[in-house]
Amino acid sequence: MKKLVIGVFSAAFLLGAGTAVFAAGNNDSSSGFSFEEMLPFMQKMHPDSSQQDLENMYKACQESGGTMGSTKSLNMMNRF
């Protein structure tokens, strides 16, 4: 019984530590995809948009930390 409890606690600790390391490693916004890498996916999602429209959309999403990092969304969230 003692070995089972130690094994469960060890597994929980390892999974928790792994999750924390993974989350901390994905915090760097400069390591994201470039516009050229995202273009095929964006064209698939928005087939009627021109390449210039898609580039403008990409830039709007990347400025100031992305959509959720913009002051517009912060102001929206402060209303509630």
pLDDT-based confidence at 5, cuts 50/70/90?
Answer: very high
* pLDDT at position 17: 82
Report how far residue 40's alpha carbon sits from residue 73's, in angstroms, rounded to the nearest whole number: 27
Q: What is the pTM of this model?
A: 0.44
Q: What is the mean pLDDT of residues 22-37?
A: 67
CA–CA–CA angle 38, 39, 45 (5° rounding) = 95
- Which tokens hold the place of 63? 């400025």
